[in-house]
């Protein structure tokens, strides 16, 4: 039986010390690439990642079932108000669990669930929540939002929240961006699946904006737009074990429209498979913008691209991208060759890189090699110094 738990705990994530192969400015970057999701047990000894059992005498949770607030669950009746009323009850009750029962389809119109809420709120979705077909049922002020969670701490959220964990969520056929993380900090998204038709426009799978310390892990995304898009104000983002396709690939941007300023830095994609994506990996900024993009790492990425430009780093001529690092990349094209496009992009690659990324121009690699050589030299007797040009 498939379960969905959406809940929050504040994670303590151990970071290994940065390796000596990187200059000091990469210290936080190398820590980020080692970031992992760790399970954390509750104070009462119960692990909230386990399926909740209401029959258990050990359970000290307060169950709030949407059916108890008048939800019908036939996929036709409007259950929006029942969800709102259930939310108000769960949000105000410590250690509550908002339950959407299995085996039913609940029609819910565009709804905003507001916080702050009491401590240790859990949202458990076992049934299916469906969106309305008619545009008139959506919020005309925010037509891209369907279900949004606002001003929450230690709870599930999309906007202006912190210390979030979302696990096992499945999102299907969103009419706009499927899952948005905005203005939030310390968010963990695990085992999430997002699907939309390949020809559906503007259906980004997971969209991250103005957020920090976000981990996406073990996610499968196939849409008509970017699998993952990261835009302005985002830093310390780690993506690991990502399956992407169909879709436009994994993107940073677009950024810098109307010559605007901004920053995106410390982004790591580690272990990803791209299946028939339109663009593969890309950074996209407006050419005259002042957006600073720095410390971006792509490693252990394989798969296929439909376009010739499997990697595209189109950065601003005004403020170039810096410190782009590629490691173990293998992107192919079924009906031709692939290439990497660079504009005002500085960085380097090591290990196997396909397509070649020689268009990345940077002195970073030389500085790293020099620092490593200096470290090795310091360990050698001064009487036996050997200088080798690399």
Residue pLDDT, tens place only, 93-110: 998 999 999 999 999 998
Question: Is 69 part of a structural domain of the chain?
Answer: yes
62 lies in some domain: yes
53 or 204, which is more confident? 204
Asked whether residue 150 is domain-assigned, the answer is yes
- Residue 103 and residue 295: Cα distance in Å, rounded? 46
Residue 112, domain extent: 1-12+57-131+144-167
CA-nearest of 47, 35, 38, 50 to 5 is 50
Higher per-residue confidence, 81 vs 8: 81
Q: Is residue 334 a part of any domain in this protein? A: no
- pLDDT, tens digit, 9 for 90 and up, residues 107-136: 999 888 888 888 878 888 889 898 888 777
Say if 90 falls within a structural domain.
yes
Give the total number of structural domains in the chain: 1
pLDDT recorded at residue 342:
96
The H or E element spanning position 314 is strand 309-314
121 domain residue, yes or no: yes
- Active-site residue flag, 248: yes
Beta-bridge partners for 125 = 100
Structure tokens at 210: 């103005």
Of 212, 216, 213, the closest CA to residue 204 belongs to 216
Is residue 117 assigned to a domain?
yes
Catalytically annotated residue among 207, 248, 323, 387: 248
């Amino acid at each position: 039986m498939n379960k969905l738990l959406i809940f929050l705990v504040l994670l303590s994530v151990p970071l290994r010390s940065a390796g000596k192969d990187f200059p000091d400015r990469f210290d936080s970057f190398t820590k980020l690439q080692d970031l992992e999701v760790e399970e954390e047990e509750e104070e009462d000894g119960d692990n909230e990642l386990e399926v909740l059992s209401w029959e258990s005498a050990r359970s000290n949770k307060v169950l709030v079932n949407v059916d108890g607030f008048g939800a019908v669950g036939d996929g036709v009746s409007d259950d929006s108000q029942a969800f709102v009323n259930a939310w108000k009850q769960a949000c105000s009750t410590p250690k509550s669990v908002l339950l959407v029962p299995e085996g039913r389809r609940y029609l819910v119109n565009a709804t905003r669930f507001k916080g702050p809420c009491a401590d240790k709120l859990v949202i458990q979705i076992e049934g299916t929540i469906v969106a309305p077909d008619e545009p008139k049922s959506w919020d005309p002020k925010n037509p891209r939002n369907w279900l949004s969670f606002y001003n929450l701490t230690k709870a599930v959220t999309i906007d202006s929240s912190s210390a979030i964990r979302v696990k096992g969520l499945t999102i299907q056929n969103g009419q706009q961006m499927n899952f948005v993380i905005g203005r939030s900090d310390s968010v963990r998204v695990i085992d999430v699946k997002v699907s939309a038709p390949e020809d559906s426009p503007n259906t980004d799978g997971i969209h991250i904006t103005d957020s920090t310390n976000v981990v996406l892990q073990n996610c499968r995304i196939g849409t008509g737009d970017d699998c993952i898009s990261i835009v302005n104000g985002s830093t310390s983002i780690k993506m690991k074990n990502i399956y992407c396709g169909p879709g436009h690939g994994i993107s940073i941007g677009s950024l810098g429209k109307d010559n605007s300023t901004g920053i995106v830095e410390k982004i790591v994609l580690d272990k990803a498979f791209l299946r028939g994506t339109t663009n593969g990996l890309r950074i996209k900024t407006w050419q005259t913008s002042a957006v600073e993009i720095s410390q971006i790492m792509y490693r252990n990425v394989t798969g296929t691209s439909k376009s010739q430009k499997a990697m595209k780093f189109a950065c601003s001529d005004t403020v170039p991208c810096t410190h782009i690092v590629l490691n173990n990349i293998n992107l192919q094209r079924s009906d031709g060759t692939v290439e990497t496009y660079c504009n005002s992009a500085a960085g380097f690659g090591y290990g196997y890189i396909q397509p070649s990324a020689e268009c990345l121009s940077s002195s970073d690699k030389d500085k790293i090699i020099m620092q490593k050589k200096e470290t090795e030299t310091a360990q050698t007797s001064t009487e036996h110094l050997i200088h080798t040009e690399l």
